[in-house]
Amino acid sequence: MQYSKIVMDHFKNPHNQGVIKNADGVGETGNPMCGDMMKVYIKVKDDKIIDIKFETLGCAAAIACSSILTDMAKGQPLEKAKNISKADIVKKLGNLPTSKIHCSVLAHEALAEAIYNYQSKVIN
Amino acid sequence: MPKIYFDHSATTPLDQWVFEAMKPYFTKDYGNASSMHSFGQIAAKAIDQSRLSIAKFLNCLPEEVIFTSGATEADNIALQGIVKASKINNPHIVTTQIEHPAILEVCRDLEKQGVGVTYVPVTKKGIVKVNDIKRAIKPNTILISVMYVNNEVGTIQPISEIGKLVDQLNTKRKNRIYFHTDAVQAVNYCEMNVNKLGVDLLSISGHKIYGPKGVGVLYIKKNIKLKPIEYGGHHELGIRPGTYNVVGIVGLGRAIELVKVGKKNNQKIKKLRDYLIKEISKKIPNTKVNGDIKNRVASNVNFSFKNAEGESVMLMLDMEGFAVSTGSACSSGSLEPSHVLTSMQIPNDLAHGSLRITLGKQNTKNEVDRLIRILPKIIQRLRQMSPIK
Ligand code: FES
């Protein structure tokens, strides 16, 4: 098993890693399979993600997926960000080993959760 | 940046003296040991010499030493061969939950063929209880297979005690129980006299003892009926056919001869290991050592760091030049935590952050000190990234 250079670069220097103190939306998912946890924080203005940060406990692929996801979502309208699929993440990373595809699912779900969290607050 | 190898349970570097011993048999003395001409006889003599060294080391007869392609094949021949030769129609095997896949996967396959297998659990410290083995034995038990030293946590299993138990039971049983041990991780550190151990079969691998890869030994006590699982020529009493791997066999023989010499390093290795445990436990909060602290080989330490995933730790160490390994689910392909840690009832979140460091004879205090400097930073960085604090 080997990781692409893009995965390793993100693993070494993850983008947007950290916490947003008063985030507008927070999403957290875990993988019961291997015990990974991912948390995504978003700041929203005019239905756009103006800031995003993540925290992840997991393997190199999980960290790289979180990192690239935040890159892809930053500055995007919520509706577009919602549609970032696991396949998009895998493609952007220059592929993932088969056993690691589920790590991208985690990233996708954490963001979807954060957006849902924000939207449910706005409605109420 | 210097590279530092701390993964000696995975494989060891080939010893320079072993390499020297092997060299002539690549290009100069390349004969087939089964040929009667002089080329063949030189090779045959080298094999005899290696067999003698190994027999002396194990305190057994030369004809009880069977060369194989490694420990996996030795384990396969032992288990499948005994089952095949058994006259009992519903044979049963006793083994442990912490065996190497070379035992566990063979057992799973044998189960499909109707063989009963009991996988005995181990204590939280990673050691099987002799009494639990005893309780697992049935009237139709034909074989007990227990590893000598566990490859992940380094714990030493009570082999000679089980050997005594088997001897006792056999005096009163209709069908004899055979006792096999996979001793791959024990050779450098433990008693290897087969009589003292009371084993009937024992597997060894070359590349874990500073010898070459692709060669191993199965010790089979005289008069034990075992059927081959592969067929071909008459090599190795027909038990393991195939042209002799002369280079490998010569290397293995030399490596075995050097084990005795190498024993003087064990104290040094143990000191370094204990120092590493002390310093890391002091410098990294929420650290646990997996496996019995006393009853383990000198080379092994297995840590668990809470809220730092093992594969990430391993890769970050790799970027700093260190080679180690992990039992984390993320690195397993199956996404399940190591079966050894699971059997020891180590909770999943701790297995997730497990790291195995195995020292060797060439490691220095300087190298260990470098690890002690770098590892706390890596754990701290990963914990800072984690949503669970
Ligand atoms: S986080 Fe466990 S496999 Fe990726």
Q: What is d(CA B111, CA B109) in angstroms, rounded to the nearest whole number?
A: 5
Task: Dump pLDDT digits (tens) for B244-273.
Answer: 999 999 999 999 999 999 999 999 999 999
Cα(B330) to centroid of ligand 1, in Å?
Answer: 4
- All CATH 3.40.640.10 domain ranges in chain B, comma separated: 16-261
- Taking the CA of residue B328 as reference, the ligand 1 atom at the shortest distance is 2
Buried b (16+ CB within 10 A) or exposed e, B156-165: bbbbbebbeb
Q: What span, in angstroms and rounded, lies between the C-alpha atoms of A112 and A120?
A: 12
DSSP SS3 for B85: helix
Taking alpha carbons only, the member of B297, B383, B340 closest to residue B101 is B340
Backbone angles phi, psi at B118, to 5 degrees: -110, 125
Q: In a 3-state reduction of DSSP, which class is residue B193?
A: coil
Q: According to the 3-state scheme, what is the secondary structure of A45-92?
A: ECCEEEEEEEEEECCHHHHHHHHHHHHHHCCCEHHHHHCCCHHHHHHH
CA distance linking residue B337 with residue B346, whole number of Å:
10
Its CATH class, for the domain covering B16-261, is alpha beta
According to the model, what pLDDT value does residue B61 have?
98
Flag if A55 and B329 touch (Cβ within 8 Å): no
Residue B250 token pair: 């010569």
| A55 CA: distance to closest CA in chain B (Å) | 5
What is the Å distance from ligand 1's center to A61 Cα?
Answer: 7
Query: Which pairs from B100-108 meet CB under 8 Å and 24+ separation?
Result: B100/B71, B100/B75, B100/B147, B100/B151, B100/B182, B100/B184, B102/B71, B102/B72, B102/B75, B102/B76, B102/B182, B103/B75, B103/B79, B103/B145, B103/B147, B103/B182, B104/B339, B106/B75, B106/B76, B106/B79, B106/B80, B107/B79
Nearest Cα residue in chain B from A99: B333
**A28 interfaces chain B, CB cutoff of 8 Å:** yes
**Mutating which of A57, A101, A102, A105 best tests the B interface, going by the most B Cβ atoms within 10 A?**
A57
Point out the residue among A12, A56, A62 whose CB comes nearest to the CB of B319: A12
Domain map (residue ranges) of chain A: 5-123
Taking the CA of residue A60 as reference, the ligand 1 atom at the shortest distance is 4
Class of domain A5-123: alpha beta
| A chain contacts of residue B342, beta-carbon cutoff 8 Å | none
**Three-class secondary structure of residue A97 per DSSP:** coil
Q: How confident is the model at residue B329, as a pLDDT?
A: 84
Contacts across the A-B interface (CB distance below 8 Å) = 63
At B120 the three-state DSSP class reads strand
Answer yes or no: is pLDDT of B116 > 70.
yes
Per the CB < 8 A criterion, the answer to whether B298 and B270 are in contact is yes
CB-ligand 1 contact for A62 (6 Å cutoff): yes
Query: pLDDT tens, B340-377?
Result: 999 999 998 899 999 999 999 999 999 999 999 999 99
Query: Could you report the per-residue pLDDT of B200-235, keeping only the tens digit for each?
Result: 999 999 999 999 999 999 999 999 989 999 999 989
For B38, the enclosing helix (H) or strand (E) is helix B38-58
Nearest CA owner, ligand 1 atom 2? B330
% chain B with pLDDT above 90 = 94
Summarised one tens digit per residue, pLDDT across range B55-113 is: 999 999 999 999 999 999 999 999 999 999 999 989 999 999 999 999 999 999 999 99
pLDDT digits (tens, 9 = 90+) for A75-102: 999 999 999 999 999 999 999 999 899 8
| A86 Cβ inside 6 Å of ligand 1 | no
**Is residue A123 very low, low, confident or very high in pLDDT (cuts 50, 70, 90)?**
confident
Burial annotation B183-193 (CB, 10 A radius, 16+ → b, else e): bbbbbbbbebe
- Among candidate residues A3, A46, A55, the one with its CA nearest the CA of residue A27: A55
Q: Whole-angstrom Cα distance, residue A19 to residue A22?
A: 9
Predicted local confidence at residue B48, as pLDDT: 98
| Mean local confidence (pLDDT), A23-46 | 91
Asked if residue B275 has pLDDT above 90, the reply is yes
Q: How far is CA B76 from CA B105, B116, B145, B209, B345, in A?
A: 9, 16, 11, 21, 28
- On whether any CB of chain B is under 8 Å from the CB of A36, the answer is yes
Mutation target among B286, B330, B379 for the A interface, most CBs of A within 10 A: B330
Question: Considering only alpha carbons, which residue of chain B is nearest residue A53?
Answer: B385
Residues pairing with B369 in the sheet = none
* Six token digits for residue B332: 């397993």
Tokens of B156: 């030493």
- What's the pLDDT at A33? 65
Q: Would you state the pLDDT for residue B41?
A: 97
Verify whether the Cβ–Cβ distance B311 to A60 is below 8 Å. yes
Measure Cα distances from B364 to B6, B338, B361 in Å. Answer: 11, 29, 8
Task: With CB atoms and an 8 Å threshold, state whether B385 touches A55.
Answer: yes
Residue A65: pLDDT above 90? yes
CATH placement of domain B4-12+263-385: 3.90.1150.10
Measured distance CA(B80)–CA(B90) in Å, rounded = 14
Contact between B352 and B303 under an 8 Å Cβ cutoff? The reply is: no
CA–CA dist B38, B30 (Å, integer): 11
Q: How many residues does chain B have?
A: 389
Asked whether B368 and B275 are in contact (CB, 8 A), the reply is yes
Residue B312 Cα to ligand 1 midpoint, Å, equals 9
**Closest residue in chain B to residue A59, using alpha carbons only:** B312
Q: How far is B371 from chain A (nearest CA, A)?
A: 19
Q: With bands split at pLDDT 50, 70 and 90, how would you rate the model's confidence at B299?
A: very high
Q: Above 90 in pLDDT, residue B336?
A: no
Q: Judge whether A39 is closer than 8 Å to chain B, CB to CB.
A: yes
Residue A115 Cβ contacting ligand 1 at under 6 Å:
no
User: What's the pLDDT score for residue A50?
Assistant: 98
Q: Is the pLDDT of residue B333 over 80?
A: no
**What was the pLDDT predicted at B145?**
98
Contact across the interface for B385 and A63, Cβ inside 8 Å: yes
Cβ(A61) – ligand 1 distance below 6 Å: yes
CA B296 to chain centre: 13
pLDDT of residue B179: 98
The Å distance, Cα A100 to ligand 1 centre, comes to 6
Query: How many angstroms separate the CA atoms of B235 and B227, rounded?
Result: 14
The DSSP secondary structure of B275-310, one letter per residue, reads: HHHHHHHHHSSSEEE-S-SSSB-TTEEEEEETTS-H
Contact flag A60-B387 (C-beta cutoff 8 Å): no
Cβ atoms of B95 and B142 within 8 Å: the answer is no
CA distance B347 to chain A (A): 11
Quick one: pLDDT at residue B59? 98
Whole-number average pLDDT of chain B = 96
Residues contacting residue B265 through CB under 8 Å, at least 6 positions apart? B361
CB-count exposure of residue A87 (10 Å: 0-12, 13-18, 19+): exposed
Query: Is A99–B335 a contact, with Cβ atoms under 8 angstroms apart?
Result: yes
Q: Do the beta carbons of residue B124 and residue B345 sit within 8 Å?
A: yes
What pLDDT digit, counting tens, does each position of B131-151 carry? 999 999 999 999 999 999 999
For residue A100 and ligand 1, the question of a CB distance below 6 A is answered with yes
Q: Which helix (H) or strand (E) holds B93?
A: strand B92-96
Residue A99 phi, psi dihedral angles, 5° rounding: -70, -5
Is A4 touching B (CB cutoff 8 A)? no
**Ligand 1 near A64 CB (within 6 A):** no
